Amino acid sequence: MDLKISRKTILKRCLHLLCPNCGQAKIARSLIDISDKCSNCGMLIKRSNGFFIGPICINYGIVAFFLICPTLILGFSGVLHLNLALTLTFIMSFTFPVLFYSASWSFWLLIYYLCLPKELYNNRPDSSDDLLFDEDERL
């Protein structure tokens, strides 16, 4: 089945932090305020309870494994002064999760809709009933 919105388009839109469905609106109103729905097409960004776990895992993984761990390794191996490394990790542990929050949401939407592109509103078959997408009703 051909998709109206291809995976390549989904990738492009999500990398620009845009709605994967229409590509016309940002998914975040501010650095830490993710929209519930797209302001242009109305697609749910926060699909249902528990959907926020994905962005949290991505955010935590990026900060812990790509920032904190390397800095601590540099500190404990003597490349950086240990006090400097500990200070940097302390500062990074509070600032980077906030800075990456909207990007982690967009990355989560990217993963979700790359795996399940038919769940994107514009990719739904015309004959589909809303029972397939009952998360709309739960909010």
Residues that bind Zn ion (CB under 5 A): 19, 21-22, 38, 40-41
Three state DSSP letters for 16-71: CCECCCCCCCECECCCCCECCECCCCCCECCCCCCCCHHHHHHHHHHHHHHHHHHH
Enter the tokens of residue 84: 């400097």
Q: How far is the CB of 135 from Zn ion (least distance, A)?
A: 16
Question: Closer to Zn ion at the Cβ: 34 or 38?
Answer: 38
CA distance 32 to 52: 13
Neighbours of 78 (CB within 10 A): 9
Q: How far is the CB of 24 from Zn ion (least distance, A)?
A: 6
Are 30 and 129 in contact by the 8 Å Cβ rule? The answer is no
Q: How far is the CB of 2 from Zn ion (least distance, A)?
A: 20
